[in-house]
Structure 1
Amino acid sequence: MSRSTEGVEDRIVAKTVDLAEIPIIDFSPFRHGGEAGKRAVAAEIARACTEIGFFYLKGHDVPPKVLGDTFDQSKAFFHRPVEERRASAATLQWYRGWIPMPKREGALDRNSRLFEQYRIQADFPDVPNPDPIFNRPNRWPEDMPAFRDACETHYAAMLALSRDLLRAFAIGLDVAEDTFDGYFDLPICQLSLLYYIPIPEGSDVEVSNTVSHTDEGPLTILAQDSVGGLEVKRRDGTWISAPPVPGAYTINIGDMMMWWSNGKFISNFHRVRNKAGVERFSIPFFLNPDRDTIVAPLPELVARDGGVANFEPVHVATHLKRFYARLEKSPGDFL
């Protein structure tokens, strides 16, 4: 998570609105419809990224089995006894694997983190790098080989889809289609398996599973189960629900794409409130560039905006390490 809202935002109840508020975009013409199809889909995506920063993506060509296997393995893992989950727990020195909910006392509040996570990141064994954050092998449950297989297959599918989405973003911004290609040679992406408990009945209105926030990277590809609970903030300040759409991924813009676009694309606030009374599972894939990439407004877009760059350049690894610095100050909240 990156930028976070003040507590007052989390006292606003989300409205249930027509799904047209978050457009459903068919990606098939981008891949199979020639140049005209590419440009038509890119225009739809650009419109969504400009207006709300979220859209649903169908026609993505990811086999249903890839997603189904990952959800099955996620449920199998989170339903294991705590001691078995703890065998693959993350540490501050090796921040991959299972991350439990923090231990808290007293009443729940907006900062209560009501979910567990299994964190999987890019793994580059042939790249010499002592940094424990960006180049450590992933932890895996040793007695669940199908868990690793499903997660690695899912990760590869999401990375491939992300590369096509980046090209769609470039066309939608009216810059060269390959503009972003060179920033993702060894991308430091992350796949998270998330398990949300139901918010207890009678909790204060500001209590959520995840506090309202934006994402740090260029984009996030989210697979939701059928329970729902994702909420999105519109440009007018209204919060709306973003329920799952069968067969579609939920895509959102993160801070880095907003910076690259010089603010044309919006990195929007979102949160999760699981009020369904049952457990919820989701699987977000966070795309991140190569660790030494400098993200800054694209020169072509700065020129169109009268030479004004609306954001300062940011070094990717430095930016992402800010989150880990928080862990070092208060590890008990996360581990």
Structure 2
Amino acid sequence: MVVASPTERIEPIELPVVDLAAERSTVMKRVVKASEEYGFFNVINHGVPQDTIAKMEEAGLDFFAKPLAQKKLDFGPGNPFGAYGCKNIGFNGDIGEVEYLLFNASDNDQFKNIVPSNFRSIVRAYRDGVREVACEILEMMAEGMGVHDKWVFSRLIRDCDSDSVLRLNHYPPIMLNRDQCCCYKDDNDHTQQQQQQQQEVAFGEHTDPQILTILRSNDVGGLQISLEDGLWNPVTPDPSAFSVNVGDLLQVMTNGRFVSVRHRAVTKWNSNRCRMSVAYFGAPPLDASIVAPPVMVTPQRPSLFKPFTWAEYKKVTYSLRLGERRIDLFTN
């Protein structure tokens, strides 16, 4: 268990809101500005049908409400996609108060490992919707920065060999029936001092290694971003919007102009409501070369990063613990 440090500064923040239905040149400017200054922003009027979103949330909550034994039986440890997991985050000992479902979101997979079939169709429809949002945003980013090839970023996640993933994270109330969730805690497991803490880290500090993340959560707070060392900014949840954040690869492909921001998820001890988020992580094919377009590199702003493939970066990502800055290993 990781309890949030009482010495951390906490200051709420309102993320920029971008209306994707507004005039295109205005949207491009707002997307670029938000990506440079915050690395996070919310989008509304995104075009994903509310029915598609509602079905995805309902299917996820129904699954997580099942007894622990049934959840493990339905999906099991996987390979690791189509997998159910709990507490363990990655392969290096990171632990959180979270349970999750993780799916390969490429066209090649088609969610064949998802059972039952109605769950499969719900996940596929949701993936298609949020991927289109991600591509539209990436194309406006390229245009807004003056890149001649506006598809330079989006074609990487449209590729049929894309390594994109879809992840459902469920942050249950801390005290639950032990038969329902492996995140159950016993009073005897904690000191009185720990129980008095206002919040505990449920998914530790990290940046997203992929290109772009499209996140949707319910109306329960928990997401925090860090724009300054030692300061954590709680983000007010907005179920009507998607949160968008820049990934490490996009920071590299914009030659550092956009920023991949550290973030985490926390749970509160006095809450009896669960938080669920659905994240689409748009990633390129494994053999894709990650470099900035020539227009992003100038004598005044030389290349900040060494060229690498997504496979190379992904290998580094899985070798490190949460909070360790992977991108620094590839700087010039």
Category of TM-score, reference length = shorter chain: 0.7 to 0.9
Query: 2:203 matched to 1:210?
Result: yes
Out of 277, 290, 294, the position equivalent to 1:295 is: 290
Q: 1:47 to 1:321 in 2, by over 3 A?
A: same
Looking at structure 1, the residues matched to 87 and 230 of structure 2 have their Cα atoms a distance apart, in angstroms, of 30
Looking at structure 1, the residues matched to 48 and 111 of structure 2 have their Cα atoms a distance apart, in angstroms, of 26
- CA drift of 1:172 comes to 2.2
Partner of residue 99, structure 1: 85
Deviations 1:23-79 (A, max 9, x none): 1110013xxxxxxx2221111011111111010100101111111000000011011
- CA drift of 1:15 comes to 1.7
Q: How does 1:176-191 map to 2 (within 5 A)?
A: 176=148, 177-184=150-157, 185-186=159-160, 187-191=162-166
SS in 2 for 1:114: strand
- The one-letter code of the counterpart of 1:196 is Y
Out of 96, 99, 105, the position equivalent to 1:116 is: 99
Query: 2:308 matched to 1:314?
Result: yes
- CA drift of 1:289 comes to 1.2
Q: How does 1:1-335 map to 2 (within 5 A)?
A: 12-17=8-13, 19=14, 22-29=15-22, 37-91=23-77, 93-102=79-88, 111-123=94-106, 125=108, 138-142=112-116, 145-176=117-148, 177-184=150-157, 185-186=159-160, 187-199=162-174, 202=195, 207-235=200-228, 238-275=231-268, 276-303=271-298, 305-306=299-300, 308-324=302-318
Looking at structure 2, the residues matched to 256 and 10 of structure 1 have their Cα atoms a distance apart, in angstroms, of 33
- The one-letter code of the counterpart of 1:195 is H
- CA drift of 1:295 comes to 0.7
Deviations 1:148-200 (A, max 9, x none): 22111101111111111110110222212232244332221111111102357
Q: 1:246 to 1:117 in 2, by over 3 A?
A: closer
SS in 1 for 2:101: strand
Q: 1:255 to 1:90 in 2, by over 3 A?
A: farther
Q: How many equivalent pairs are there?
A: 294
- CA drift of 1:254 comes to 0.6
Q: Contact (CA 8 Å) 2:60, 2:168: kept in 1 or not?
A: yes
Q: 1:156 to 1:55 in 2, by over 3 A?
A: same
Looking at structure 1, the residues matched to 293 and 7 of structure 2 have their Cα atoms a distance apart, in angstroms, of 37
Partner of residue 190, structure 2: none
- The one-letter code of the counterpart of 1:294 is S
Q: 1:71 to 1:8 in 2, by over 3 A?
A: closer
- CA drift of 1:8 comes to 9.2
- The one-letter code of the counterpart of 1:147 is F
Q: Contact (CA 8 Å) 1:199, 1:273: kept in 2 or not?
A: no
Q: Contact (CA 8 Å) 1:297, 1:310: kept in 2 or not?
A: no
- The one-letter code of the counterpart of 2:223 is L
Looking at structure 2, the residues matched to 174 and 75 of structure 1 have their Cα atoms a distance apart, in angstroms, of 42
- The one-letter code of the counterpart of 1:272 is A
Q: Contact (CA 8 Å) 2:215, 2:244: kept in 1 or not?
A: yes
Q: Contact (CA 8 Å) 1:292, 1:317: kept in 2 or not?
A: yes
Looking at structure 2, the residues matched to 249 and 151 of structure 1 have their Cα atoms a distance apart, in angstroms, of 17
- CA drift of 1:278 comes to 1.8
Q: Contact (CA 8 Å) 2:97, 2:201: kept in 1 or not?
A: yes
Looking at structure 2, the residues matched to 43 and 136 of structure 1 have their Cα atoms a distance apart, in angstroms, of 35
- The one-letter code of the counterpart of 2:49 is P
Deviations 1:246-276 (A, max 9, x none): 4110111010010011111010011111213
- The one-letter code of the counterpart of 2:114 is W
- The one-letter code of the counterpart of 2:96 is R
Q: Contact (CA 8 Å) 1:293, 1:316: kept in 2 or not?
A: yes
Unaligned runs of 5+ in 2: 176-193, 322-332
Deviations 1:260-303 (A, max 9, x none): 11111010011111213321111011000122111122221112
RMSD over aligned CA atoms reads: 2.8
Looking at structure 2, the residues matched to 310 and 239 of structure 1 have their Cα atoms a distance apart, in angstroms, of 27
Partner of residue 32, structure 1: none
Q: TM-score under structure 1 normalisation?
A: 0.79
- The one-letter code of the counterpart of 2:300 is G
SS in 1 for 2:201: coil
